[in-house]
Copies of this chain bind each other. A is one copy, B any other.
């Protein structure tokens, strides 16, 4: 299906989202709340980019422009970026239902290339991957993703690779997915070589 992850679901069950807020929010929802929390305490300014839309038809029935035909576009970059301690932060976040591996087909090749470029230019680049059925969320630094891509012919990153190389992000009440805590702990800001 040609729409971004989670969008159709969110769109259709918008009303139920509030009701179910305390059990099983999507990774996107959790990250939005986390980033909002970071902004509130003036810690970091990291935002999700809007979903790219290709607009075909706009009408002006009243004062407000109404889009009547549009399609989901392929994103040129990752979904999240911003600033933390003066450093440029960039990441992509994905959920998988698999219990054993993360399929790389979930990420566009140009998004991986983008993360490599960011790392090369001294930004902090990583993936946040949630294994929804395991209730586990990992932060995998770009260098470890790159190592995997260079050394493995596999099209999925096994869970064991995450357990070995990535960092498990503990879920908390607030912030829900405290990924900056991980970067603080591993010294990712000053030294992520």
Contact = CB atoms under 8 A, between A and B. Distances in A.
B65 A53 contact: no
Given A53-B67, A53-B70, A3 B47 contact: no
A72 interface: yes
Interface in A8-67: 8, 11, 39, 42, 44-45, 47, 49-53, 55, 58, 60, 63-67
Interface of A: 1-3, 7-8, 11, 39, 42, 44-45, 47, 49-53, 55, 58, 60, 63-73, 75-77, 81-90, 114, 117-118, 121-123
29 contacts: A1-B63, A1-B65, A8-B58, A8-B65, A42-B117, A44-B121, A45-B121, A47-B76, A49-B49, A50-B51, A50-B52, A50-B53, A50-B75, A53-B55, A64-B71, A65-B71, A66-B70, A67-B69, A67-B70, A67-B72, A68-B69, A70-B70, A82-B88, A83-B122, A83-B123, A85-B121, A86-B87, A86-B123, A88-B89
